[in-house]
Amino acid sequence: MTEDTALPEPLLNRRYRLDEVVGQGGMAVVWRAEDTLLGRMVAIKVLRDQFASDPEFLSRFRTEARTAAALNDPGVVSVYDVGEDKGVHFLVMEYVPGQDLKQVIRAEAPLDPGRTVRIATALARAVGQAHAIGMVHRDIKPQNVLVTPDGRMKVADFGIARAVASAGMTAPGVVMGTVHYLAPEQASGQTATFASDVYSLGVVMYEMLTGRVPFTAESGVGVALKIINETPVPVDHVNPRVPTALSNIVARAMAREPAARYPTATALAEALEGYLRWSDQHTVPNFRGVDPRRPAAAPPPASEPGSEAHPGPAVPQTAVGPLFDSTGLMLGFVALVALAMLIPLWSVVADRLGAAPVRGPEAGPSGVGTVATGTPTEPPATLVLVPDVSRLTADDAKRRLEAEGLGVTTEDVPDATVEVGRVIRHIPAAGETVPAGTVVNLLVSAEGITVVPDAAGDYQTVADAITRAGLVPGSPRYQWGGTPGQVIQLAPGPGQRMPYGATVEITVGSGSRLAMGVDFDDNVFLSAVDLDRAVFTAGETVTLVPHWEAVGPIAGEYGARAVLRAADGIVISQDENPALGGDGRSTTAWAAGESLAGQPLDLPIPPSTPAGSYSLWVDVFRIGNPGERLPVRGGGAARVADNQAEVLAIEIKTADAPVP
């Protein structure tokens, strides 16, 4: 064993028994261990010495790990505990037996499009939960996706990449994000956003569908330069079995400009779910389809920078089976006999009407159809394979189609994801076999303006209205006040004119629940505070209910205190509870991961209090020593001063002043 993989202690923190190393990375060593207190298997990530010796990093690491612990999604690896024992800093996580997605890709790629979409949807939904609370993963890659024995996917390492980036770690051998999965803005040193995670998810889909990453080079720097400057070969050009519609979703997720991508992972998941619904409705047999038993075409060589690849047309994914089975032959024979019997009847009807006899497709000179092959009255039409002209300029696409003997019409369609004047898609699609002279309709990207709708209701109702208007709904941003779950603001507001495809930010009311996310020492975490309003009259009482979590075992006994202060710091009112939780139990009896509401804290406002703005603060103190405030390690959404967290600035009116 190396120094980093040597067993730190037989029983870490007097609780976790380390059994064996199951993985290693540039930042930590991962052990399979047993939680002897709860009797369950866990995974423990032990930081390497270069990180464990950096106080700034450790502070960030603890804060981000505890934020990650707030993620409650079956698609995310749960974080149970974070701690330190004799200089060994560690993170305790859910143990997921099995393998990671990278191993699955190496063994089985290219994966079936349907399977890929199901996996990618689950991953995007899980990452979307993090985006909803403002967390960016920053290092999405197949190695960070664990596959359970029953085939479920779980995303790991939320918050850890952020801790490294925030602490400015530049130790040798430490690279933020695996370079092949970085978004262009990350590769160029800019800040990662939700759209950066979307790009990385797109790369993971690309690799699942093709068996290769979009860009390769002799060095990581070479890969980064390609990511910044080049557009990958479309998925359906690498693997013709991938439907064009799915290839387009991957292409949008991997757009070089963040604004052209899906704004969040949740938006990507919704696009994939829409694709699944569409594909379920288009599974009828198509004789131009690909036999799924045929091996996939070998991937074309990657184009050199500056050169333009011209791959062959993509063949759409279709339903399956031999072209002529016994059922098909029988149905075809019945249809042919029926046709032969009907043609004489059609001739009689035509004669009665004074018209010439109707000739069938194989009719002889008498106009009567026969089963035997005869000389057709007209030569058979020449068939043409529609080339892929998407993303070409309208003029280039027209020349390409006309050279194949096809007609062309164009239709302008507003689309913010495709450069103006270039083809978004065309009908018939690439790979379709059509008669020569068929007119192909080109849908060409055009500038367009739409209006933000005047929509109200819950988030999904408003988001649907925004989508119908040709705009992109942003992920919900929660704000204290209003009716819980109801939209209280759009930005830009209703009636504003915006380009098609622009994003509208949506603010949703959280009611009386005010998110806090304050990380106190000794595993005490203030997740939220209930406060029914922000305007009071002198003589009333301010009542707040804190909500607490034990992100790990709590060693001390603590109580909570609320203080109302004037702008000059003078205490107007104060209340404290000797027990942190509402059930009266000592904090030493709380189980790791337990969440519970605290006892209400009541702050009477003296009737003589002048009108004005006052600040409401909460702190945690050690029982028996109320003057000792528990240190705050991370403020979350709150402002922190002197180990106190500010809940809200409230307004106090005099008794004769109207209260809004």
Least confident of 11-25, 157-171, 454-468, 532-546: 157-171
The span from the CA of 451 to the CA of 430, in Å, is: 34
**Number of domains forming the structure of the chain:** 6
463 & 605 share domain: no
SS (H, E, C) 293-332: CCCCCCCCCCCCCCCCCCCCCCCCCCCCCCCCCHHHHHHH
pLDDT of 305 higher than 50: no
416 & 546 share domain: no
495 by Cβ neighbours in 10 Å (0-12 / 13-18 / 19+) ranks as: exposed
557 & 598 share domain: yes
Place of tokens 């920053």: 138
Asked whether 158 and 70 are in contact (CB, 8 A), the reply is no
What confidence score (pLDDT) does residue 373 get?
37
**Boundary (domain end) residue, out of 280, 306, 324:** 280
Catalytic residue among 73, 139, 519, 619: 139
CATH of the domain at 61: 3.30.200.20
> Taking all residues of the chain, what is their mean pLDDT, rounded to a whole number?
76
3-class secondary structure, 479: strand
pLDDT confidence band for 418 (50 / 70 / 90): confident
**Boundary (domain end) residue, out of 220, 252, 280:** 280
pLDDT confidence band for 403 (50 / 70 / 90): very high
Does a structural domain hold residue 438? yes
402 & 426 share domain: yes
67 & 83 share domain: yes
Asked whether 500 and 466 are in contact (CB, 8 A), the reply is no
Give the domain range for residue 73: 11-94
Does a structural domain hold residue 484? yes
Place of tokens 């925004």: 466
CATH of the domain at 107: 1.10.510.10
295: Cβ contacts below 8 Å, ≥ 6 apart: none
Does a structural domain hold residue 86? yes
Does a structural domain hold residue 2? no
What confidence score (pLDDT) does residue 588 get?
92
Summarize the confidence of residues 524-532 as an average pLDDT: 89
Provide the greatest CA pair distance for the chain.
111
The span from the CA of 178 to the CA of 188, in Å, is: 14
Does a structural domain hold residue 592? yes
What confidence score (pLDDT) does residue 170 get?
35
Does a structural domain hold residue 660? no
372 & 437 share domain: no
Strand ranges in 10-107 using DSSP code E only, listed in sequence order: 11-12, 16-24, 28-35, 40-47, 79-85, 88-94, 99-100
- Give the best-scoring range by mean pLDDT among 40-44, 198-202, 238-242, 506-510: 198-202
Does a structural domain hold residue 292? no
What confidence score (pLDDT) does residue 9 get?
56
- H/E stretch holding 206 reads helix 194-210
pLDDT of 293 higher than 60: no
87 & 153 share domain: no
Q: In 3D, which of 96, 104, 101, 109 has the Cα closest to residue 149?
A: 96
Least confident of 164-168, 230-234, 526-530: 164-168
147 & 201 share domain: yes
pLDDT of 652 higher than 80: yes
What percent of the chain stands above pLDDT 90? 28
What six digits make up the tokens of 441?
């309709």
pLDDT of 290 higher than 60: no
529 & 643 share domain: yes
pLDDT of 525 higher than 70: yes
The reply to whether 54 belongs to the active site is: no
Amino acid at 263: P
146 & 212 share domain: yes
Least confident of 137-141, 157-161, 317-321, 609-613: 317-321
CATH of the domain at 478: 3.30.10.20
pLDDT of 312 higher than 60: no
340 & 467 share domain: no
472 & 525 share domain: no
pLDDT tens, position by position, 63-109: 666 666 666 677 888 888 877 888 788 888 888 887 889 989 988 88
177: Cβ contacts below 8 Å, ≥ 6 apart: 138, 139, 141, 161, 186, 200
**Boundary (domain end) residue, out of 509, 540, 556:** 509
pLDDT of 412 higher than 80: no
Does a structural domain hold residue 321? no
| pLDDT, greater one: 488 or 173 | 488
Summarize the confidence of residues 325-332 as an average pLDDT: 46
What confidence score (pLDDT) does residue 382 get?
80
